[in-house]
Structure 1
Amino acid sequence: MTADVAGAPAQAGAPAPLPTRAVRWRAARDLGLETVQIPLPGPGEVLVAVAFCGVCGSDLHEIADGPHAIPVDVPHPLSGAVAPITLGHEFSGTVVSSGPGVTALPPGTPVAVEPNYRCGACTACREGRYEVCTGFGFAGLMGDGGMADHALVPEYMVKPLPDGFDLAAAAVLEPAAVALHGIRRSTFVPGQQVLVVGLGAVGLLVCALLRDKGAGVVIGVDPRPSRRALAARLGADVVLAPDDDVAGAVRDATGGDGVHVAFEVVGAQHTVDAALAGVRAGGELLLLGLVHELRIPAFRMLNAEQRLTTSVGYRDCHDELIAMCAEGRLDLAALITDVVELVDAPDALVQMATDPGDGIKTLIRCGGSRS
């Protein structure tokens, strides 16, 4: 259900709306902090007081030169939304209230949001692969999201957290789910050697998760020294800049064979080329970075029996990640480099879309935040 701009007439018989501040995408480089009216939750819906919302590269692409995913003419089939859209799909908070039929989420429950829509009826959903639902989309891109004081979401998106779970760290669970789903999609098994090209938030989380899952050698590649340093802290054994002799270093670290699995987490031809160059015969290239088209050396890959696998979004990842954090095996807070207040978010986001800087993960502190 989408939010109505403040002042719009309420439908007859509808619950009284809740005024809430929200960062609204109206067009490329046109953001505003508006007061919108969010209906109280209907059947199967949950109203969340948002604590923190992470900024994703997808948000910045929409701000810089969108729309790419944001619906502007035809409403999204599951959210029913068109622009203007409340941004933000990486968010956490506490339950304010729930609609009829929701029994397991009492007010005050700390939660993270798994923001992907699902219809529950298409072939992919019936097979449990809701990340490729025919109505695929995310709250915060294809419907109203979490850069706001409050967000109204379907119950299936809401993941309860243990008491005392850091709500700032919980906002990083969404990119961690992208990383975990990618690893699950790959053929990786403990003891294998791996290469991660691109050490943004998702790439760093791939490194951390692979280390926890028993990788033999983890090699990370990124042009930014600060990201290479954090990758080393999170478990990478070897960290390289793109202008290093990456192929030679990979051979040295793997006994001359190359890695079993290379994870490409940028979405560019040159990084795909670099990742594939490090893969051994019989190995695998796993694509996590978004890119429209690629050239691959099909003849060479065929003769080496190398696999090409893709991964998008996530499914059923949050419970494992929440448990890992609770057990102290995964430090999501280590990725948080900046926190911006909600009132300052529109200007900060436009600036980030122009110059992303060296930060890893910026959070927006929303109205429901707790220190």
Structure 2
Amino acid sequence: MQAAVWYGARDVRIAEVDVPAPGHGEVLIEVAYCGICGSDLHEYADGPHAIPVAEPHPGSGATAPLVLGHEFCGTVVALGASVTHLTVGDRVAVEPNYRCGECARCRAGEYNICRHFGFAGLMGNGGMAEYAAIPAYMAHRLPENVSLEQAALFEPASVALHALQRAGATPETVTVVGLGPVGLLTVRLARERDVRRIVAVDVAPARLELAAGLGATDLIDAGLEGGAGERIRELTGGEGVDVAFEVVGSESALRTCLAATRRGGRVVLVGLAPEVSLDTFALVNNEQSIVASVGYRDTYPELIRLVAQRGLDLTPVITSTIALEGLVAQGFETLMRGAGDQVKILVDPAARRDRLVSCAASAGTATPATSDSRRRC
């Protein structure tokens, strides 16, 4: 099969590798879609950051080189020993979290902060491939009325949903600073929760327009003279919003969030920033709180319910679907150029399989294409 294998910074190869065999407690899935995440971009641009190079990750036992991709879904095609809750042919969304199940946080149900936490596709082989073998606990069966295209977005949507849960009781007013896929999905899920006012902040007009379509009530250019935070206060009669979501990972975005949040309000950190400086005097005097949100837990069943029963549509954030062979040029490089019209790019490994079947048929054979027929194609 073909897979996108990370060897080092700027060295991701579309390589022919063996189809993995599902081990004990694992399933093999035929991948339908795998989204490109900002984490993948960082690993491609200047990694390793999370990818294990010297020591195997305790959750996967893997070290680089490894297959990228943690936002994926597909169809079960084989079962490993002891797997009983899934069957061949099940369509599944993959919750790519490794967890040990034994540490104190796992026993408390907080498996997203497991001592050995990690992601398939970053700390182990993932879904930018035609097939992927994963622990069966990662696979969530999909109802017939939930498409695989929707399921491909459950991972970033889970990040957004967990951030909303970390905000506490459903607020009346929120600000979302940073309209990448997670920020836009935060807007959509806030609207699903009937948040009255949703202020979206970004520098890209196309993303602001998309946020409006997803439920944002107010749109603000992050580069606004005088500061976006002050403009948000004006919109709220000088009060500020109940909760602000920092989904950029920068000190300036955090400052905007704090300036936009009311006294007694909360800022939820979702973006990954280096060290930042804070005016703790103002933080204390305003009795604002800052909480962090990492990954997610117990979100997939809720997203499946929202899509299947309430008709939640996550797909407007998808701006392109590309073949696996185009991952670097059409995926990573396009996103790194900061193309404002691109938000979520999905990789479709089946595009190659479809071409091989078509090629085999044109060659007059009913069997899968051989290496010779691939060369002819």
* SS class of match (2:118): coil
Matched, 1:109 2:90: yes
Matched, 1:249 2:210: no
Distance in 1, Cα, partners of 2:310 & 2:108: 33
For 2:283, give the aligned amino acid. M
The aligned residue for residue 334 of structure 1 is 316
Matched, 1:305 2:287: yes
Distance in 2, Cα, partners of 1:161 & 1:90: 15
Unaligned runs of 5+ in 2: 355-377
Matched, 1:151 2:132: yes
Higher-helix-fraction structure: 2
Judged with a 3 Å threshold, the aligned counterparts in structure 2 of structure 1 residues 94 and 67 are, in CA distance, closer, same or farther, namely: same
For 1:129, give the aligned amino acid. E
Unaligned runs of 5+ in 1: 1-19
The aligned residue for residue 288 of structure 1 is 270
Q: Do the aligned partners of 1:48 and 1:97 also contact (CA within 8 Å) in 2?
A: yes
* SS class of match (2:334): helix
The aligned residue for residue 255 of structure 2 is 273
* SS class of match (2:14): strand
The aligned residue for residue 8 of structure 1 is none
* Structure-2-length-normalised TM-score: 0.90
Of residues 57, 78, 82, the one that matches 2:59 is: 78
Instruction: Percent identity, please.
Output: 48
The aligned residue for residue 143 of structure 2 is 162
Distance in 1, Cα, partners of 2:106 & 2:147: 31
Q: Do the aligned partners of 2:20 and 2:131 also contact (CA within 8 Å) in 1?
A: no
Cα deviation, residue 331, structure 1: 1.5
Question: What CA RMSD, in Å, does the superposition of the two structures yield over aligned residues?
Answer: 1.7
5 Å matches for 1:14-33? Answer: 20-33=1-14
For 1:73, give the aligned amino acid. A
Judged with a 3 Å threshold, the aligned counterparts in structure 2 of structure 1 residues 54 and 350 are, in CA distance, closer, same or farther, namely: closer
Distance in 2, Cα, partners of 1:173 & 1:370: 24
The aligned residue for residue 241 of structure 2 is 259
Q: How many residue pairs were aligned?
A: 351
Give a deviation string over 1:108-151, Cα, whole Å, max 9, x none: 11111000100001111011000011111100001000000000
Cα deviation, residue 350, structure 1: 4.3
Matched, 1:63 2:44: yes
Matched, 1:205 2:188: no
Distance in 1, Cα, partners of 2:140 & 2:199: 32
The 10-residue stretch of structure 1 (34-43 or 223-232) with the greater mean CA deviation from structure 2 = 34-43
Cα deviation, residue 159, structure 1: 0.8
* SS class of match (1:92): strand
* SS class of match (2:132): strand
* Structure-1-length-normalised TM-score: 0.91
Distance in 2, Cα, partners of 1:218 & 1:340: 32
Cα deviation, residue 209, structure 1: 0.8
Distance in 2, Cα, partners of 1:346 & 1:35: 16
Distance in 1, Cα, partners of 2:237 & 2:210: 25
